[in-house]
Amino acid sequence: MPRSTQVGATGTYVNAKVYIAVGISGAIQHLQGMTHCETVIAINADPNCDMVKRADLSVIADSSEVMQALVDAVSGSGNAKGSGNMQVNSDVMVLVSVGQHPLSGRPRRAERDAKALELALSLDGIPSVVLAGDPDSAAVREYLGMGLPKLNVLKQPEQADTSAALCDFVKSGQPSLVLCGARAEQGESSGMVPYLVAKALNAAVVPEVVAVLSRSDDSVEVLQALAGGQRRKLRATLPAVLIASQSAQDARQSAFTKARDGLVNVLEVAVVDDTEKQGWQWQPAKSRPKRTKTVAATASSRDRFRAATAAQASSGGEVLRDVPANEAAEKVLKLLKEKGVL
């Protein structure tokens, strides 16, 4: 198994709303890789393993039986989120990019772009989504996993000025509403793309959008984040470019089957070389020192490593013992619904 598919200190770091650990005992390196997961569900036959201690909900049972019951429960619930019979709305366009995980550096969907897509999915229909870059990037499938039937990719090499391709594509489509993140998570990250797109469309720009409240034929009403945690309602005339706020609703998790089945529409477009970027000099930024827990000098190297990297064990996790598989599956399903995964 390649390291990119392994969770742990030497593999991939996971940042998930819900992490389901099936038959995983919880080695120190694995616990380090899932430190930033919000909720952990453990299904394991060993009640004393470290993963059970870390989990918010633990099912002590045969994992195969519980997983089969969970699959049956999800299939019969009819509550899974998806595109259903919704039609693609070409009047709403979302600009997304390839992000970068802050710890592992691996390609991923950009957090603010995913929030923008989540805002667009709250409107009627499925928006038109476009990415300028590498069509083989893992981020493409992560966006498709949010429930998109298709994602347009403007094929661009690494040294290209992708803003030119995006502006031409948006101008040709003439959408009345464009949603995007504030800036890229890697590369130049100037934050100019939303404004260049707005200039091409002759559209208004609304930054720090938390939610889209309503939309008519000629205007859109949004909730905008202000300093000090304040909010205000704002109505903008269409066409408009909405920049998603960090305070916007978290993007839904990417579903494997939707990511697998979605269509990647690769478009060959003109390439404009970023001549200014080619002359830049790059150097690594100075990292901030990490505060670690105080550990006695006599502690073992294992204890010092655990204190510095592993997440604290959950103190209030619920443990289910000697329950039927279907009851355990219903409990897991209930938690998944509470967290908005289903």
Q: What is the dihedral of CA 13, 332, 22, 61, to 10 degrees?
A: 150
Average pLDDT over residues 232-261: 91
**CATH entry, 3-79+313-338, from 2.60.120.260, 3.40.50.720, 1.10.3720.10, 3.40.50.1220:** 3.40.50.1220
Average pLDDT over residues 50-58: 90
Which pLDDT value is given to residue 83? Answer: 41
**In the chain, pLDDT over 70 holds for what percent of residues?**
87
CA distance 250 to 309: 25
Which pLDDT value is given to residue 80? Answer: 41
- From the list 204, 128, 138, 137, the residue with the least C-alpha distance to 169 is 128
**Residue 309 pLDDT level (bands cut at 50, 70, 90):** low
Average pLDDT over residues 189-195: 89
Dump pLDDT digits (tens) for 110-137.
999 999 999 999 988 889 999 999 999 9
CATH fold group of domain 88-251: Rossmann fold (3.40.50)
At 2 the three-state DSSP class reads: coil
Locate 256 and state its tokens. Answer: 């494997």
Q: What DSSP letter does each residue of 20-49 carry, written as one string?
A: EEES----HHHHHHTTT-SEEEEEES-TTS
**Residue 311 pLDDT level (bands cut at 50, 70, 90):** low
Which pLDDT value is given to residue 85? Answer: 44
Average pLDDT over residues 171-176: 93
Average pLDDT over residues 58-67: 88
**Residue 43 pLDDT level (bands cut at 50, 70, 90):** very high
Average pLDDT over residues 35-59: 89
| Neighbour order of strands in the sheet with 88-96 | 231-237, 219-225, 204-215, 240-244, 177-180, 88-96, 126-133, 150-155, 263-268
Tokens 């997961």: give the residue.
Answer: 37
Per-domain residue ranges of the chain: 3-79+313-338, 88-251
At 112 the three-state DSSP class reads: helix
Mean pLDDT of the chain: 84
The answer to whether the 3-79+313-338 and 88-251 domains have the same CATH topology is yes
**Residue 98 pLDDT level (bands cut at 50, 70, 90):** very high
CA distance 82 to 255: 9
| Neighbour order of strands in the sheet with 39-44 | 18-22, 39-44, 57-60, 318-321
- pLDDT higher than threshold 50 for residue 82: no
Tokens 């938390």: give the residue.
Answer: 210
Residue type, 67: M
**In the chain, pLDDT over 90 holds for what percent of residues?**
41
Phi, psi (deg, nearest 5) at residue 276:
-65, -40
Dump pLDDT digits (tens) for 214-245.
999 899 999 999 988 899 999 999 999 999 99
Lowest mean pLDDT among 132-141, 151-160, 303-312, 317-326: 303-312
Lowest mean pLDDT among 154-158, 203-207, 277-281, 314-318: 314-318
Give the bridge partners for 98, in sequence order.
109
Dihedral angle sign, alpha carbons of residues 188, 266, 140, 146:
positive
**Residue 246 pLDDT level (bands cut at 50, 70, 90):** very high
Dump pLDDT digits (tens) for 280-307.
777 777 766 666 556 566 677 777 677 6
Tokens 């604290």: give the residue.
Answer: 312
Strands 219-225 and 231-237: antiparallel
